Amino acid sequence: MGAILLLLCILLQALAIESVGPLIRAGSSLAFVRLCVTSSDYDECLQMSKVANQTISCVRARDKYECMKLIIDNEADIVNLNSEELYLAGRLYNLEPFAMEQYDGDTQYYKSVVIINNKANINSMSDLKGKRSCHGGLNSTHGWDIPIGLLLATMTMSPDCRGEMYSVSKFFDQSCAPGPWSSDSGIDMELKQLHSNLCAACQNSTLCSDTDEFAGDEGALKCLFSGYGQVAFTTSKTVERFLLSDKLDRLERRLMNNYVYLCLDGTKVPLDGKPCEWAHKPTNVFVTAGSRDKRDKEWFLSYLQQLFFRFVPYKPSWWRMKSLFSDPMHVTQILPVPTHLQRWDRYLGNFISSIEKPLPLCELNSVTMCTTSPEEELKCFDLQKAAFSQRLRPEIDCKRRASKQECLELIAKRQADLVAVDLSDLYEAPQAIVQQLEPVGVAQGFSDYAVAVVRADSGIKFLYQLGGRRSCHASFGDLASWLSPLSVLTERSLLDQASCNKADQMAEYFGGSCVPGAADLRVNHYRSGSDKLCAACRGDSEGVHQCERSSSERYHGQAGALRCLVEGAGEVAFVSLSSLAGNVDGRSQERWARNVPLALDSRNFRLVCRSGPSMPLGDYERCHLTKLPGKLMVGTKFTSKEDRLAIRQLLIRLVDKFATGTERDMFELFGPYLNKSDLMFDDSTRRIVPMKLEMSTFDMAIRLHFDPSYQQIPITNKDANCKIVLTTTSAAAAQSLISGSLYALVVLLNCLVCLMAIVSSSTLSQNLNLNHRYTSNQ
């Protein structure tokens, strides 16, 4: 019998698939529907298109935000959006909802309601001021965002221009808004100490966690009914479930008469009456361009309805893709959006206030990110809009400058707040700039490595054998090809750890090098060792622009350093593993590489290890110089503790929303953008680890998150010709014994010892500037 039923199901499924195409085309001038889907759903969409007889075309997009642009550009027809995404699509692009999901038989996910103690003398929204409030959680849309947004929008709650948490603290006497306020435990604790009033009405006001008795939707009611609060913000369904449950004894049920719904107009409704909502969250909608003809919208709706009902009993594997329906287990119908609601603002109604949370009469409170290219700036502004729609505050602003150095200068002047930089960018920055900066966070992701590459027939097997050999580097100050070998050679005592000039030491250690930029005063101050560091460079095809830090020098960049090795100008190339892998075995896109395909066979190269003999390229995990660190998020340290916390919390929430959370489908924070790589962040970034306020020094960031050898690298003074570096051991010992100004004195004494040694050997330059920034343990 079971086998017969299974066969019947298969036959019915086949009939459904065969009948989709002809039915949906009847009476329509359109050949197919172009559904925009995110990359993660694209393969499943292609399966759906195949079984639907190609009547639906899948348009691949990076995220929902790109889908909105594709619809405006007439490269796609429709996309499924939630309420926050609809806010963005309607406000920015005038996309209109035409079909909505029915979710568990309803067209609203929930209704946000307000319950008050009828004896608390509350007869209007303004009477809530000075009362004790129960929210269920700080990150609850119905328990926090909707009521706070409406209280601000109606000017019932006077805005504190520092932000909504300050505004709420001033408005209510005490509150319970438990739960994790930040996914970083340190930031979470700092925020709760700063805004302790928002935890004061919780049962455990110290922890104020999501395990609190008053956490969650029902927790907000318990907070109210237990007398800790006088007003609770929750959902109508929660109230109905709670009253029907066995959680109330007879006495408590009689006391329910003391509680009522508070409506927006100040009227009150008994709990057993019809709830008056402050706002509701509507279900997902399908949107299309506002300029679309009415008949097109009707046809799109008809298509979706037929597609839904043909497959809903059997649910093939592609049914679960979120780009089609929000939740295939709970969506019960596809309905037309009523004509009077076919505008984004009308469809969302009061829910808009939960997103905008206006602070009228306040100057814009923003975090300004510095960018260095038009594409990066465009991504920043797109992130700004996506973040605003997800209620992330402070708002993001964007400024563009020509280089990372200019961005660092802008931050030092407090005209911008954040920029992502490599350690090499700090290496080049002047003392006056670096002293005003601090690491806000450290980007982490898939590992890349700095490697030393030699030809397999070179006879070089060990690191110490590189002495006297010709070397190839991407550029002066580059992380993988300059700082990494510099740090490892210093750590291995192949370079003097107390040397006052690493550039001269590198020049003397190798037997001639190509380090593009070594003669550039902007990066190699006083051009230390530049003759030898530029000796292996060749310039362009006419022999000019030799050793320039640009593509005019044929050996500039990661691919250029490898070319330097392949063409015999050098005997070792220092590059990143990712660039090496992208240029061997026929993968290189460089023109010069086409002429030497055999020379770029990976079997012709070996890696020189940090310790031990050389190995094939495939053994990079065991044989590399350093694991390359991610970018540092850098800000100014000369700002208030509150602002420093706000910036860190914004970074954390950006990652939580757009990198690891469900909103990643809405906007993807990391990865290629507009077919460009490494905009704002490295593509490989997966998270950003915030630096604790009391540990926000570059020394500490390097010690905690970088390869230990990087502690040998000074973050140099741009105007310095002498750079003192303490050994890892001595610096750690010094810091364990002394701190503050005394530690600075020890560093200064080390510097003086070094200077005296230099004077005695008659190598001290007459123009030596003694006003240096000496950095230890970096």
How far apart are alpha carbons 773 and 36 in whole angstroms? 54
Cis peptide leading into residue 394 (ω within 30°): yes
* 8 A C-beta contact, residue 513 and residue 473: yes
Question: In this structure, what token pair is assigned to residue 160?
Answer: 């504190």
In the beta sheet, which residues pair with residue 97?
287
* 8 A C-beta contact, residue 233 and residue 141: no
Tell how strand 605-608 and strand 632-636 pair up: unpaired
Q: What sign results for the dihedral spanned by CA atoms 275, 281, 287, 292? A: positive
Binding residue ranges: 109, 143, 422, 480
CA atoms in the 13 A half-sphere facing the CB of 366: 17
How far apart are alpha carbons 571 and 81 in whole angstroms? 56
* SS3 state of residue 95: strand
Q: What are phi and psi of 695, to 5 degrees?
A: -125, 20
Helix extents (H) in 390-483 = 404-412, 423-428, 431-434
How far apart are alpha carbons 283 and 280 in whole angstroms? 10
- Smallest Cα–Cα separation from 572: which of 496, 664, 459, 444? 459
How far apart are alpha carbons 337 and 98 in whole angstroms? 5
Alpha-carbon distances of 466 from 171, 209, 287, 495, 724, rounded to whole Å: 68, 57, 63, 12, 24
How far apart are alpha carbons 607 and 452 in whole angstroms? 6
Dump the DSSP string for 737-776. Answer: H--HHHHHHHHHHHHHHHHHHHHHTT---TT---------
* 8 A C-beta contact, residue 261 and residue 276: yes
Binding residue ranges for hydrogencarbonate: 143, 480
* 8 A C-beta contact, residue 666 and residue 386: yes
Q: What sign results for the dihedral spanned by CA atoms 44, 50, 51, 53? A: positive
Q: What are phi and psi of 467, to 5 degrees?
A: -60, 130
* 8 A C-beta contact, residue 93 and residue 72: yes
How far apart are alpha carbons 261 and 271 in whole angstroms? 6
In the beta sheet, which residues pair with residue 606?
454
Tell how strand 366-371 and strand 395-400 pair up: parallel
Q: Which runs of E-coded beta strand occur in 692-755?
A: none
- C-alpha triplet 190, 196, 199: angle, nearest 5°: 115
Beta carbons within 8 Å of 393's beta carbon, 6+ residues apart:
163, 164, 357, 365, 650
Binding residue ranges for Fe(3+): 109, 422
CA atoms in the 13 A half-sphere facing the CB of 256: 18
Question: In this structure, what token pair is assigned to residue 728?
Answer: 């890892």
